[in-house]
Structure 1
């Protein structure tokens, strides 16, 4: 069935940000009293960052965390991430701009989804120089009631681009939650890309239709 829309994750999927988001997440949770392991952080890859902070703190503190504590930890995360992005700006992953151009030239729409809030997302897009000449829509975690693995960002991307049939939607990402969101949405194509922290074994264990080296390879699916 022809693809009408590709819904792509940002960090680790379409952009290289050198792991800054996960370093900032681990550091902010630790500063707030948590003790997250690398495996703990990996479990929250692709999730909304405020949600991740709250759950990581509650898992390690053993009780519900007050909203003010989560707010403070999230503000600390944002400050750490902002500094990391100023020190080492994000860049497109190799071949991604060319792939996006080919996909859109074929008449397929492209939407980005992210666990970042709108402010962080807009800053990243400005750094990259990506506007509506590069992608058709951008959906952030604060645009929907819940982040991944909920499918809501995918549905919002469909709404924004006028696509009605989820069977004609391709969802791609580098995390387990990206794939879970695609499956929960009922997307016709659920594609894992190996440009993030997970290898083919780790990412391939989750339900998917395709595993590819990266977004640069997505145009090959246009004729499948």
Structure 2
């Protein structure tokens, strides 16, 4: 008789997009620069540098939440968020959007293993859909979620728990949460996921990922299917 608890078998994989499955290549920072400039923040100023440092530290968080923190005013935050989205969409439309090496293959292998895959983001639905369309990924996953779908974005557990509910997964212990930021790791640990894996293809290093709860640190998403198969 197997000693494995069936409720601990991972059947749901919740994957971040930018930096984990999709190459970022500085697009978030470029779009932020455009948004900050529209609100009168002078590039290279002390204020600009402080804001940019916060953007880097909070990679993975819902973008509107970041702008609320930076500007402390809802109207300005919404204005900055719209400017950010316009700039990011222009970059995507100009071809500055690509899957990370092995990402599409990894997602296909995870689903071939019988696992459900949910792609999540800190971007709005409009931006998420723009990226998915640019990559031809509209059907690559079982489900895609943005903060507006879940209630709150990272580092709260809402995205992972919404993925569990929408896919009718039986237990939080059946979830693997994978991302490139400390906020992804916090989302996974707060949701009770049995695997919280950080990848080194994005914003944060192994030290930050581990400090925020990573149970595994991978070079890239390409290593994930074999890790889960061995488990």
TM-score, structure 2 normalization:
0.88
Aligned length: 216
RMSD of aligned alpha carbons: 1.5
Q: 1:124 aligns with which of 103, 113, 131?
A: 131
Taking the aligned partners of 1:95 and 1:69, their CA distance within structure 2 comes to 39
Deviation of residue 209 (structure 1)?
Answer: 0.7
Taking the aligned partners of 1:69 and 1:49, their CA distance within structure 2 comes to 13
Structure 1 stretches (4+) deviating beyond 3 angstroms?
Answer: none
Deviations 1:139-195 (A, max 9, x none): 111112211111111111111211121101000000010000001101010001100
Deviation of residue 108 (structure 1)?
Answer: 0.6
Confirm or deny: 8 A CA contact 2:155 2:184 kept in the other structure: yes
Q: 2:189 aligns with which of 179, 183, 186?
A: 183
Structure 1, gaps ≥5 residues long: 59-64
Taking the aligned partners of 1:49 and 1:214, their CA distance within structure 2 comes to 24
Between stretches 112-121 and 29-38, larger displacement belongs to 29-38
Between stretches 87-96 and 21-30, larger displacement belongs to 21-30
Deviation of residue 68 (structure 1)?
Answer: 2.1
Q: 1:68 aligns with which of 63, 66, 75?
A: 75
Taking the aligned partners of 1:153 and 1:189, their CA distance within structure 2 comes to 15
Taking the aligned partners of 2:78 and 2:206, their CA distance within structure 1 comes to 35
Taking the aligned partners of 1:44 and 1:21, their CA distance within structure 2 comes to 11
Aligned pair 1:52/2:66, yes or no? yes
Deviations 1:21-77 (A, max 9, x none): 23212442354245243431122210111111110223xxxxxx2x22222111111
Match of 1:47, SS? coil
Deviation of residue 87 (structure 1)?
Answer: 2.3
Aligned to 1:103: 110
Q: 1:35 aligns with which of 48, 68, 77?
A: 48
Deviation of residue 86 (structure 1)?
Answer: 2.0
Match of 2:48, SS? coil
Aligned pair 1:156/2:162, yes or no? yes
Change (3 A) 1:186 1:56: same
Aligned pair 1:168/2:174, yes or no? yes
Taking the aligned partners of 1:128 and 1:102, their CA distance within structure 2 comes to 18
TM-score, structure 1 normalization:
0.90
Taking the aligned partners of 2:70 and 2:95, their CA distance within structure 1 comes to 26
Taking the aligned partners of 1:211 and 1:152, their CA distance within structure 2 comes to 23
Change (3 A) 1:160 1:36: farther
Deviations 1:94-146 (A, max 9, x none): 011111111111101100111111111111111111133x2101011111221
